[in-house]
A and B are shown apart, each in its own frame.
Chain A
Amino acid sequence: KPSNRKLRSATTTRHRFGFLSMANPKSHLFSLSFFSLLLLHFPAVSLGQTLFVFGDSLYDAGNKQFVSSNRVDSRFPPYGVTVGEATGRWSDGRIIPDYLATFMGIPEIPPILRGTADFTHGANFAIADATVLGSPPETLTLSQQVMKFSDNKNKWTAQTRSEAIYLFYIGSDDYLNYAKNNPNPSDDQKEAFVDRVITSVEAELKVIYGYGGRKFALQSLAPLGCLPAVKQASGNVQECVRLPSEMAALHNKKLMQLLVELSRQLSGFQYSFYDFFSSIQNRVIKSTTYTFETGMVACCGTGSSCSTNNVCANPEDYLFFDGKHLTQEGNLQAGHLIWGSDPEVIGPNNLRELLFIPLDTEVILADIQEARDSTRRPRQIKIESLHYQEVGISDGEPMALSS
């Protein structure tokens, strides 16, 4: 049975000495040098990586057409205009899972419903209009996507499934529908609904865990009230709508708490939690800083559907391609952030680090407050510089270097 080596990924002095007494320093140094060696020798990651994708239209790589009896817009121009081909992706080009696959050194992950595709490196179960709760038509809920994964799991060995990354983006449609149907919920009602969603997400993560999954990457929800389509529907395109963004923020907070809890409950559970909410907020408020001319208006058909008649000339100057989805440029920036940024943006580890953490290592954060802090301030101990532990750690107060 593999030994449980515990690594700390964030600490204050009050925990540091506890760590030293818990772990055998020698084995921790060994695991540190072992996988830092891995990091050195495989800079272009190509270790037979596998990526499984779950979610909604943000991640849909072409599943929708197989379950829809209606015209699926993403199968037609101007979708895909930047790459010259409409593939069923809800963007002018590549989406986040495509970039992550490239960074992982594997081909783009094909949609599971395209039977003839090559699923060697994983499969994409995401589909437009997917929700966590309920049973919307012509789509697959999260639970149905996980069932599909289960039906297909023998396409991959147990080893592959345990080393793979499981990527999730889901919940937008749950909250957009809720906000539409409940314009004035009380705080308790909001909380109750979010709890239902989170509980369901928890169950599905545990199912994946049961099939051997250990490395979970979750993208927090965008500030949904800032989606151009949502603003358009509210009648005021200048301001983000409050309720959907509030629900998203509450969901994100509870989702992070869930991940911390699971990392304690489930042996070997590893995760990365990407603060997509802040990424979008930054790009809506300070669009030009992030190379966009606007984060307020979509490139194509904000309120009406996106067609070749109302598409902008240069999608890369826009954050949003249509009323709800990012342009290729927006997806690319998010991809970079997920892959290689600091814990303040994606914690406790970015995706590349998550890939390399040995399977029997547990990354434990002592409590929720610490987890929250660790994703907001620059980490003081990074996995590859654990031996710097004696130097540079503040005595007491966490260093709030971020404003």
Chain B
Amino acid sequence: MAINCNLVSVIGLLLVLTLLQNPVTVAGQRNSGAALFTFGDSNFDAGNKQTLTKTSVAQGFWPYGKSRDDPNGKFSDGFIAPDFLAKFMGIPIEIPPALVPNVNVSRGASFAVADATLLGAPVESLTLSQQVRKFNQMKANWNDDFIKKSAFLIYIGANDYLNFSKNNPNADASAQQAFVTSVTNKLKNDISLLYSSGASKFIIQTLAPLGCLPIVRQEYKTGMEKCHEPLNDLAKQHNEKIGPMLNEMAKSAQGFQFTVFDFYDAIIRRTQKPSSYRLFMTNASCCGIGTHDAFGCGLPNVHVRLCEYQRSYLFFDGRHNTEKAQEMFAHLLIGADKNVIQPMNVRELVVYPVDENMTEEWVPTTPATVQARDSRSSSHGYESY
């Protein structure tokens, strides 16, 4: 073969080769061959709770599941965010509850359980570290390479702070700080456990503004306009620690990859400007009773009010989002910009080469850092992978 190829054709060839390597095409998600594993509390519980308790759980009954006429143990009127995220990742099935026998876990599973916490021993539930242990017990279902390239989505801590707030209504700043430190330390520990089990791609969802959950507004009697700020404060303190903690872990653990989804902000935006998100009601629930219709959805003998058009509500019950909102969050997870999920979105995280350390880190989002990032480049630099 002739040695002198001209530059243009070389570059052209390289470009073509690059395009051919790109597993993420504009037209859609090729099957990246990765699974999605979820951990945490009722937000991601796909039906595990019923296996841990003898009483029938409310989320197994109408009106839960009303959008699909299928009450299935999820805290939603239909699917939850992981189901949509899975679809966007090319996974053709819902992410099933791992604790239920005979489910198809070939594309991932949910280890999340309602009432889960980081600390303590929640009743009829599993702490995050217990969930990790369960994952280890089931590891034979997947091979190590598959685990390494799969996504691990975690949402946990809400119950720790909700309980803390209820039991320590007058906690001062230093008591709060101490509690936040112990919670986040435990989180770091549990993530390390998962990492040693073979996981390498972590998506940590920050806590919602807990004070704005309808059930919290209702219980703390904040009225319709306000949230219960002390709980928002606790959530913020917790969330602030997540990014730096993960940065540190990424520096000291080979191949540790992560991203942080700013769920707090996603909820706040929707409560502040509902109409921009085509939402009508964001401070009260679709299903329940009380000042904010927040209590009792699915409970026997509770005659709840049930909204007629749940798709225009942010919350289906007192603390869980409607299917419509969950779908929005999945869109944010898979493909939003750094002001929403950083240092990269899930699409980028999933195709980032395994065993490689990340080159970008999480940065506290201020106007200055956003500008700096934007000026550096318009591409995230990961498209070539």
Contact = CB atoms under 8 A, between A and B. Distances in A.
Contact of B62 (A43, A291, A395): A291
A394 B312 contact: no
A239 B323 CA distance: 35
Contacts of B28: 13, 392-395
Given A13-B28, A291-B61, A392-B334, A340 B92 contact: no
Given A290-B62, A391-B334, A340 B69 contact: no
Interface stretch (B83-91, B162-170, B204-212, B241-249): B83-91
Contacts of A68: none
Interface string B276-288: 0010100000000
Q: On chain B, which size bracket covers the interface?
A: 35 or more
A274 B78 CA distance: 17
Given A384-B278, A401-B79, A401-B87, A378 B29 contact: no
Contact of A333 (B62, B79, B275, B311): B62
Interface stretch (A89-97, A123-131, A341-349): A341-349
B290 interface: no
B67 interface: yes
A25 B92 CA distance: 30
A278 B278 contact: no
B309 A43 contact: yes
B365 to A, nearest CB: 22
A399 interface: yes
B89 to A, nearest CB: 10
Contact of B331 (A341, A352, A391): A391
Interface residues of A, number: 38
A337 B69 CA distance: 7
B341 to A, nearest CB: 14
Residue among A36, A336, A337 with the highest chain B CB neighbour number at 10 A: A336
A399 B87 contact: yes
A21 interface: no
A337 B308 CA distance: 9
Nearest to B84: A392
B88 A43 contact: no
A388 interface: yes
A340 B88 CA distance: 24
Interface in A31-78: 36, 39-40, 43
B68 A352 contact: no
B66 interface: yes
Interface in A381-403: 384-385, 388, 390-395, 397, 399-402
Contacts of A40: 275, 278, 280
Contacts of A337: 66, 69
Interface string B46-84: 000000000010001111001111110000001100011
Given A336-B308, A391-B331, A341 B66 contact: yes
A43 B87 contact: no
B5 interface: no
Contacts of B68: 341-342, 344-345, 378, 402
A395 B24 CA distance: 11
Contacts of B306: 336
Contacts of A36: 278
Contacts of B115: none
Nearest to B298: A291
Nearest to A290: B62
B61 A289 contact: yes
Given A340-B308, A395-B29, A395-B30, A289 B62 contact: yes
B280 A394 contact: no
B141 interface: no
A339 B280 contact: no
A290 B70 CA distance: 9
Nearest to B60: A289
Contact of A341 (B30, B67, B92): B67
Nearest to B274: A40
A400 B83 CA distance: 12
Nearest to A352: B309
Interface in A304-346: 333, 336-337, 339-342, 344-345
A103 interface: yes
Interface in A338-386: 339-342, 344-345, 352, 378, 384-385
Contacts of B177: none
Interface in B325-343: 327, 330-331, 334-335
Contacts of A390: 26
A112 B310 CA distance: 33
B94 A43 contact: no
A336 B63 contact: yes
Residue among B28, B71, B278 with the highest chain A CB neighbour number at 10 A: B28
Residue among B26, B56, B92 with the highest chain A CB neighbour number at 10 A: B92
B69 A103 contact: no
Interface string B203-229: 000000000000000000000000000
Nearest to A40: B275
A336 B88 CA distance: 29
B309 A342 contact: no
Interface string A195-229: 00000000000000000000000000000000000
Nearest to A99: B308
Interface of B: 25-30, 56, 60-63, 66-71, 78-79, 83-84, 87-88, 90, 92-94, 275, 278, 280, 300, 306, 308-312, 323, 327, 330-331, 334-335
Given A340-B66, A400-B92, 19 more contacts: A13-B27, A40-B275, A289-B62, A290-B62, A339-B308, A340-B67, A340-B309, A345-B68, A345-B69, A385-B327, A391-B88, A391-B335, A392-B28, A393-B28, A394-B29, A394-B90, A399-B87, A401-B79, A401-B93
In order of increasing CB-CB distance, the 9 nearest A-B pairs are A395-B28, A43-B280, A392-B88, A340-B309, A290-B62, A103-B308, A342-B67, A393-B28, A345-B69
14 contacts: A43-B309, A43-B312, A282-B70, A291-B62, A340-B308, A342-B78, A344-B68, A344-B69, A392-B88, A394-B29, A394-B90, A400-B92, A400-B93, A401-B93
